[in-house]
Structure 1
Amino acid sequence: MSAFVFGYYAFLILASVILAYVEWRKWFMMVFSLTLISFVLGIVGGTPALRAVATFAIVLAVAAMVSYAFKEFLIQLAKPNLAKELRTAPLTAAFGMFVIFTYAIAGIFAPVIAPHGEAEVIAGAFAAPDANMLLGADQLGRDIFSRIIYGARNSVGLALVATLGAFILGALAGLLAAVKGGWFDTFMGRVADVIMSIPSLIFALLMLSILGTATWVIVFVVAIIYSPRVFRLTRAVAGNIVVMDYIEAAKLRGEGDWYLIRREILPNSMAPLIAEFGLEFCFVFLLIAGLSFLGLGLQPPTADWGSMVRENATLISFGDVTPLIPAAAIALLTVSVNFVVDWMLYRSSGLKEQ
């Protein structure tokens, strides 16, 4: 038995005993479960498996500590009401907010953070990582690390604009349908059904093949694809509000449709719409990344995470995981946004801690 294996098991058993003694049951169950899992993996995979488990546990612990520190930082900066809400946020939501904050900083300050230009050729094709290029070069000799930083601005920014477009179209149509009703409500509902019946990727490929791959076309097509989802949610939420007594009172006062939407319906339906915005952003982000991977998203030399996976896929054949880094960036942001959205849905559902 190596010193690492002996120290690893000794640490887990000692930690389990201490946690059991102080009656921290939840943490005891986590650590002792890790001990049992490590015991099984140690028998099957030996020392390498234990090292992998230890590395994963350390990364998880560091992420939890960073999330807790970021959560406390936000609490100190927030106003009292918001600070009270943030104190109830789980570590997963704090981790998601930290990742979103990191991506925002990378996108906004990309020219300052990136050591090289977005399309600057500084080495040979697929050059190995060195002190000048942290992740090496791509198929044209451009710095992969710099392009990933710029990709945070391009990929996330495009997805954010497209999501905003989908929400403006869908929410506006849903609110008008709820207020006006009648033939307009029926017509908009059938239009939404027709668009949603077409697979989103096929519809996007067809429209981009016809209209081209300009940035505004991508935003327009993606907004059209996902606006029916927003319409149906907005229509359902607003439909429950328009039958309330205070809406009837406002109508009797002679208030118009726009007043009802702006002052009565929209403020009372913001919570589910904000949560839906996060979910729609994930769908839009993944669709745009898929289109870029297929060559119909942002066009070269613009850095985009989806196209970077395609351009450097050759390296995977040689055991180089560099092409998986932009794919991991896509997955990390999607998971982080979902963490935050889950917490927001929990808060808006009324299942609040007392």
Structure 2
Amino acid sequence: MLGVPVLIALAGPLLAGSVQSAAAPLQPPGADFPLGTDVLGRDVLALALSGGASIVALTGASLLLSYLVGVPLALLVANRWADGVLVRVLDFLLALPGLLVLMVLAAAGWRGAVTLALAIALLQLPAVVRLVRSAALAPGCRAAVEAMTMQGEPWWRIHLGYVGRCALGPVLVDAGTRLSLVLYLLASANFLGLGLAPSASDWAVLVERNKEALFLQPLAVLVPAGLLVSLCTGINLLLDHALARRDEV
């Protein structure tokens, strides 16, 4: 389930034909267009082949950035004087509705793929830090940290090494579930005009653009939506398998 959307995202743009309007809108599947056309008269097959690269890149960049910043930050401040200050700041950020933040950015003229990735990463940061902080403050983890401290272990080995390994399992599980939320925010942001253009061939944009024509040309919605669902499900199954193998070891 993961291999198909990832393969399409990587190799699809090389195989896709033109994604410009070439026929009447919402045509059913036929010889010229195997999956029909969308609301703009574009070939749905070509759109599906070319629309995965942007959504995979933006989702991966947003998730990776939020964890690259959130995990070390949570590990470094856990049980320290800055812990309380960080929690208060995160509580404020966590209370901000994600869609409202994206709407404000769109109204202020902050657009583009880079802005979109940074904004979504910032919105995910409070939850990531709280998750890792909870793992770092678990009773079993605290006892081990106290023992390692009494043995004279350096702080980086304790917090970034041992505590980081303890938090790896929750982080992997959270990443799989958070992927769906990031995809939802990306689709919503593209609909609001923050990020990719409404005419882009991105899978999330295609679902939003063609949703009103679901019963007239269902493939224009079901194909990109199915690829997104397959991507989310495949990543979650892969992470579950990796965690099971890790527990066996």
Measure, in 2, the Cα distance between the counterparts of 1:283 and 1:345: 21
Task: Check the 8 A contact 2:63/2:121 in 1, yes or no.
Answer: yes
Measure, in 2, the Cα distance between the counterparts of 1:125 and 1:172: 50
- Deviation string 1:303-343 (CA, Å, 9 cap, x unpaired) is 112221233345336x3212322233333333443444455
- Deviation string 1:142-197 (CA, Å, 9 cap, x unpaired) is 2111111222211122111111111112212211111x611x10111111111111
- 1:172-191, aligned counterparts within 5 Å? 172-178=72-78, 181-182=80-81, 184-191=82-89
Go from structure 1 to structure 2 and tell me whether the alpha carbon gap of 1:141 and 1:281 turns closer, same or farther (over 3 Å shift). same
Amino acid at match of 2:12: A
Unaligned runs of 5+ in 1: 1-98
Task: Check the 8 A contact 2:176/2:232 in 1, yes or no.
Answer: no
Matched, 1:311 2:209: yes
Measure, in 2, the Cα distance between the counterparts of 1:236 and 1:345: 19
Q: Which moved more, 1:262-271 or 1:164-173?
A: 262-271
For 1:247, the equivalent position in structure 2 comes to 148
Structure with the higher fraction of residues in helix conformation: 1
Amino acid at match of 1:139: V
For 1:324, the equivalent position in structure 2 comes to 221
Amino acid at match of 1:181: R
Amino acid at match of 1:334: C
Task: Check the 8 A contact 1:289/1:297 in 2, yes or no.
Answer: no
- 1:40-51, aligned counterparts within 5 Å? none
User: How many percent identity over aligned positions?
Assistant: 23
For 1:105, the equivalent position in structure 2 comes to 7
Tell me, what secondary structure is at the counterpart of 2:214?
helix
- 1:165-204, aligned counterparts within 5 Å? 165-178=65-78, 181-182=80-81, 184-204=82-102
Tell me, what secondary structure is at the counterpart of 1:109?
helix
- Deviation string 1:81-128 (CA, Å, 9 cap, x unpaired) is xxxxxxxxxxxxxxxxxx1111111111122332x03x3343343344
Task: Check the 8 A contact 1:237/1:269 in 2, yes or no.
Answer: yes
Task: Check the 8 A contact 2:102/2:119 in 1, yes or no.
Answer: yes
Q: Which moved more, 1:333-342 or 1:261-270?
A: 333-342
- 1:83-232, aligned counterparts within 5 Å? 99-114=1-16, 116-117=17-18, 119-178=19-78, 181-182=80-81, 184-232=82-130
Tell me, what secondary structure is at the counterpart of 1:312?
helix
Measure, in 2, the Cα distance between the counterparts of 1:266 and 1:209: 39
Go from structure 1 to structure 2 and tell me whether the alpha carbon gap of 1:168 and 1:236 turns closer, same or farther (over 3 Å shift). same
Relative contact order: is structure 1 or structure 2 higher (C-alpha 8 Å, sep ≥ 6)?
A: 2
Measure, in 1, the Cα distance between the counterparts of 2:132 and 2:214: 44
Unaligned runs of 5+ in 2: none
Larger radius of gyration: 1
Paired residues, number: 244
Measure, in 2, the Cα distance between the counterparts of 1:199 and 1:346: 34
Amino acid at match of 1:113: L
Shift of 1:291: 2.2
- 1:10-29, aligned counterparts within 5 Å? none
Shift of 1:237: 1.1
Measure, in 2, the Cα distance between the counterparts of 1:281 and 1:113: 27
- Deviation string 1:286-310 (CA, Å, 9 cap, x unpaired) is 2212222344342244311222123
Task: Check the 8 A contact 1:278/1:337 in 2, yes or no.
Answer: yes
For 1:24, the equivalent position in structure 2 comes to none
- 1:250-265, aligned counterparts within 5 Å? 252-253=152-153, 255=154, 257-265=155-163
Tell me, what secondary structure is at the counterpart of 2:42?
coil
Measure, in 2, the Cα distance between the counterparts of 1:216 and 1:293: 16
Task: Check the 8 A contact 2:5/2:230 in 1, yes or no.
Answer: no
- Deviation string 1:245-284 (CA, Å, 9 cap, x unpaired) is 453146x25x2x4443443322332222122211222211
Go from structure 1 to structure 2 and tell me whether the alpha carbon gap of 1:293 and 1:327 turns closer, same or farther (over 3 Å shift). farther
For 1:271, the equivalent position in structure 2 comes to 169
Task: Check the 8 A contact 2:61/2:117 in 1, yes or no.
Answer: yes
Measure, in 2, the Cα distance between the counterparts of 1:191 and 1:343: 35
Tell me, what secondary structure is at the counterpart of 2:30?
coil
